Chain A
Amino acid sequence: MADHQAIIQGDLQDQAVAGHQSALGQTQTRVATLPGFVTESGFKFETIEVSYQTLGKLSPARDNAILVCHGLSGTAHVAGLDPTGRPGWWDYHVGPGKAIDTDKFFVIGTNTLGGCNGTTGPLSLNPQTGRPYGPGFPRITVRDMVMAQARLVDHLGLDTLLAVIGASMGGMQALTWAVHFPERVRVCVPIATCTAHNAMQIAFNEIGRCAIVTDPDWNGGEYTETRFPAHGLAVARMVGHVTYLSELAMARKFGRRRQADAADARQFSVESYLHHQGSSFVKRFDPNSYLCLTRAIDEFDLFAAAAPEAVLSRVRARFLVISFSSDWLYPPGQSRELVRLLKRAGIAASYINLDTEYGHDSFLIENPPFAEVLRHFLNGDHPRIHPHHHGEPL
């Protein structure tokens, strides 16, 4: 069945899908150097670098821009192939004729502040020392990430975004956009996310952080390429990866099968898979960045400063909230609670809980029901939210 194929195939972020073709062909990632950025904690960067890519054409009225926010380990490379032939993390859903149609929309992908894929983060050089910030990188918040994105949007010469779409950590960013820039966001699409982590979500992140900081090569975060806490980072990713899947997806994908080509013939396929996930993550992610980002999302609380009705009172965007029934890391109840608060604040919010089996990763893999919802919402919405149709929400 096609459904099972999608589970086995997995996502484009962690697995190089053999022979994956992209209608976008090769796409480019650029870096914008933006002067003067102060974090919420008061840390002053003289400049920040923000990695981004744009796909599709900006309309003459500049009203078709969609900002796509990635999850914990994503990059600016949303769709198309990079020079090595690697597809973007959301190539299944972004491209010509796809759910987020680059023939209609001007799509912006950007790496988050604090990340390690082109945007300023712990790997960046500290101009004071000439060495990477490493563990000295300031604590940042989801709001800081969004402020950096807003600086990029300014840099691109855009006042308003047609939509901000994000899943997981990206969903928190989308929510923050709608709250902090009510005039700049017409549509907000938070996917498989929440307004604040619960104890279980913090707990899984803490297991990951613990694995990293107890690695013998951690050295207080001052590691080197030769003495690198690879083991700790790999274990963190293994735990994380399990939380992104579902019991059913794992049963389908691995069952109790053994890995025939493993050195130890008794090794289960799932063990081999997790080891592979761990070691491939080590090649593309930085441990200090992992700590920085997981801390930021654990600290995130949309309603920390004020009651929901006060926080949401300024919001102007229409919402589409999406959850997945098999997502036990960001369970549908969190999305329903978000929808409840939005509706009670008088915000036009649509909600769908998709009965897909792939767990939290449901948004990352090839998933036709999800793609249909996104496509119909964006296309159905587009004419009605055009400025001259602005007014009473439908």
Chain B
Amino acid sequence: MNPGIYATIAQWIPPHSRVLDLGTGDGAFLEQLIRERQVTGEGVEKDAALVTRCMERGLVVHQGDIADGLDQHADGAFDFVLLLGTFQELVQPAEILHEAFRVGRQVILSYTNFGHYHVRLQVLFQGRTPVTPSLPTPWYRTRNLHFLSVADFACFCREAGIRETRRAFFSARREIRWLPNLRAETAVCLLDGTAPPRTELP
């Protein structure tokens, strides 16, 4: 992934914030945030081997499946909840987003843009489920359950009453500022749930 994504996210998080990183992996990014932004942070990770790696870094980490909810955390326990790279893999993304807004004031989320022109061209000319640099796995092995575009996500937020207060778009090499739905491979957004989200997300 474009390292600029992490730099952008780090800038969105003010120093000394309280951060919950969902799907924290080996904890490398969370550790970076703690070191560079002096945040108080903890992670949730499903894979025991990765949880052990987080412990090696001295991180607070909880082994669990975010699909089971975040009941271990009190309402409003965090300033930011991070949901990076896994959004399109979640069975019930809307429910998890709702839960993220319960425990955090703001959510930073990233997803792979299915509206990218590579994808469009492959569907149009080959009539096949696309395999692109940002969607490298064939349909029978991909962990992606949902295929959404920048336009889809904007629509989803409108209907759910969530505000996208900041957005950034990336290709493998650079930040994309113009025609993101066509040219971006990855989208990152800062979501504000200060206005209470609807109890029933779409």
Contact = CB atoms under 8 A, between A and B. Distances in A.
Interface of A: 318, 320, 336, 339-340, 343-344, 348-355, 369, 372-373, 376-377, 379-381, 383-384, 392-394
15 contacts: A343-B74, A343-B77, A344-B74, A344-B77, A348-B42, A348-B60, A350-B55, A351-B72, A352-B48, A352-B55, A369-B52, A380-B56, A380-B58, A392-B40, A394-B41
Contacts of A376: 52-53, 55-56
A352 B51 contact: yes
B62 interface: yes
A343 B72 contact: yes
Interface in B63-79: 63-64, 71-74, 77
Given A344-B73, A348-B42, A394-B40, A380 B57 contact: yes
Contacts of B55: 320, 350, 352, 373, 376-377, 380
B73 A381 contact: no
A339 B71 CA distance: 10
A350 B43 CA distance: 9
A349 B61 CA distance: 7
Contacts of B77: 343-344
A393 B38 CA distance: 11
B34 interface: yes
B59 interface: yes
Top 8 nearest A-B pairs by Cβ distance?
A: A380-B58, A376-B56, A340-B72, A376-B55, A352-B63, A344-B74, A377-B55, A343-B72
A394 B48 contact: no
Contacts of B71: 340
A394 B59 CA distance: 7
Q: Do most interface residues of chain B lie in helix, strand or loop, or is the interface mixed? A: mixed
B81 to A, nearest CB: 14
B20 to A, nearest CB: 10
A111 B42 CA distance: 36
Nearest to B45: A352
Contacts of B74: 343-344
B62 A339 contact: yes
Contacts of B53: 376
Contact of B62 (A350, A377, A394): A350
A349 B42 CA distance: 9
A320 B34 CA distance: 19
Interface in B13-71: 34, 40-42, 48, 51-64, 71
B56 A394 contact: no
Contact of A351 (B34, B57, B59, B63): B63
A373 B52 contact: yes
B52 A372 contact: yes
B143 to A, nearest CB: 20
A348 B34 CA distance: 14
Interface in B106-161: none
Given A353-B63, A376-B56, A383-B58, 4 more contacts: A318-B60, A354-B48, A393-B60, A394-B40
